[in-house]
Chain A
Amino acid sequence: MKKLLFVLGMFLILCNSAWAEKEIVFATDATWPPMEFVNDQKQVVGYAIDYMTAAGKEAGFKAVFKNTAWDGIFAGLAASKYDAVASSVSITEKRKKAMDFSEPYFTVRQALIVAKDSAAKSLEDLKGQKVGGQIGTTGYFTIKTVDGLEAKSYDEVGLAMEDLNVGRIAAVVCDDPVAANYALDKYKDTLKIAAVMESGEVENYGVAVKKGNKEILDLINKGIAAVKEKGIDKELQEKWIGQ
């Protein structure tokens, strides 16, 4: 009986890999609601997850997601631990030197979140105070561009929100969909979005792949193009962000 099960199992595995479409493993730091996060059924879900799954359907690959801590997520990509990073990665010049990016799949701005009773309207209003952001994010880099702020980096944006909530820091800077999720939902009684910052240039999320990995990049780009063409991205925005 055991032997039979084993043979059957092997057969299924062989079939599966032989018949299955190309699999692309996306690393994602699922602490960034609503873009990518873990829901109460312990599944990794969110806008980016649905988006890449849809892109896979269009372009003929199977999107698999691997929940990975943000700190070190690019080191893992460089070490080929996965094929791509779909984790609200903003496309920046600096990052482009270290990795290749897909076409943008979401346009984002940085939001400033403060306590409900705060009068601050911009980062300049918070001189001399502590402002938090997630380590290695554009939000954190934005804080560091303003002189006179004490920038504080967190492993997860949720920890920064908790510290803001109890008053250890004065503000948090993060991507606007995430900001909305926290300030308008989870902490709606204590926090608010003070401003959405226009940083001058448009900030886009792209999927990052290892430098030179053209095969994967082309597949992903094909999928993203199809999703945009069919208007699936609009549906997903409706579903996850409600704008």
Chain B
Amino acid sequence: MSKDDITKIEVGDGAAIPSPDDKGLVSAWWVALIGTVGMLIALPVLKPDPYLTILKFVPDGIVVTFEVTILAIVFAIIIGLLTGLGRLSSNRFINMIASLYVEVVRGIPLLVQLFYIYFALGRIVRVPDIVAAVIAMAFCYGAYMGEVFRAGISSIDHGQTEASLSLGFDKKQTMAYVVLPQAWRTILPPVGNEFIALLKDTSLVSILAVADILRRGREYAAESFNYFETYTIIALIYLLITLLLSKLISAMEYRLSHYERR
């Protein structure tokens, strides 16, 4: 039996997550990090007006961006797990609901969904904008996450399930004790990617008047007319965050794969 028969899920978008084996990406990561940090320090020092002013203006936006991202990813993972299991369910009804959800969400642009859920929610319940934003993001990303979970679970050799069943575990126990703990290994890289993609996509919630990094920057720019300088800083902040996150995810992935190493 091959040692490398763990299925890798192909990833289309999101940030590049450096694996310790990918020398090119690792050194590119360092260059990007040093460049980003360097510029974030040099610009405000060399030209405090407006760069330092901008840097002072956006931090609460960073907090909001993280709030939305983390809350949304937690819910998206829960929704995604349920959806993934639903998509693999032999129960026709559950399968149908899960598949329908994925079809609908994947067919509508995120921006449209955000507007739709935001204003539709507004008609039904009175929730704070940030909650509406989280619900909208989680609803959308839950579908993508569902496909990641489905692929991850399917990638686990059926022999593992049979071995578990033959010991007397039922299907749920088999999923919980045998399949999911292994699927995590396959699922984590794309989940990490979705996490970073989601963080970037939270910039869309600024359209819903949620005061994230982007909106704080735009508010500053609209008042000062320093568009170029503002967007330079905003881009650098996003880049710094995603660079650090991609490294963190790569480290987690490495830890999780301990049982694949001899």
* A interface list, Cβ under 8 A from B: 71-72, 74-75, 78, 94-95, 98, 132, 135-136, 140-141, 152-155, 159-160, 162-163, 166-168
Contact = CB atoms under 8 A, between A and B. Distances in A.
**Binding site secondary structure of chain B:** helix
Contacts of B228: 75
A176 to B, nearest CB: 21
Q: How large is the interface on B (under 10, 10 to 19, 20 to 34, 35 or more residues)?
A: 10 to 19
A122 B238 CA distance: 39
A162 B126 contact: no
A135 B225 CA distance: 12
A166 B209 contact: no
Interface string B125-160: 010110000000000000000000000000000000
Interface in B221-254: 221-223, 225, 227-228
Contacts of B128: 168
Contacts of A154: 209
17 contacts: A71-B218, A71-B222, A72-B227, A74-B225, A75-B225, A78-B227, A135-B215, A135-B218, A136-B218, A140-B219, A153-B211, A153-B215, A153-B222, A154-B209, A155-B207, A163-B122, A168-B122
A155 B192 CA distance: 31
Given A75-B221, A154-B209, A159-B208, 4 more contacts: A71-B222, A135-B215, A153-B219, A153-B222
B119 interface: yes
Interface in B105-132: 119, 122-123, 126, 128-129
Contacts of B219: 135-136, 140, 153
The binding surface of chain A is classed by DSSP as helix
Contact of A153 (B119, B209, B225): B209
Contacts of B223: 94, 136, 141
Nearest to B223: A136
A166 B122 contact: yes
A150 to B, nearest CB: 9
Given A75-B227, A168-B129, A135 B222 contact: yes
Contacts of B122: 162-163, 166-168
A122 B192 CA distance: 48
B130 to A, nearest CB: 10
A101 to B, nearest CB: 14
Contact of A78 (B208, B218, B222, B225): B225
A94 B220 CA distance: 13
Given A71-B222, A153-B219, A163 B126 contact: no
Interface string B206-217: 011101000100
B227 A168 contact: no
Contacts of B227: 72, 74-75, 78
Contacts of B225: 74-75, 78, 95, 98
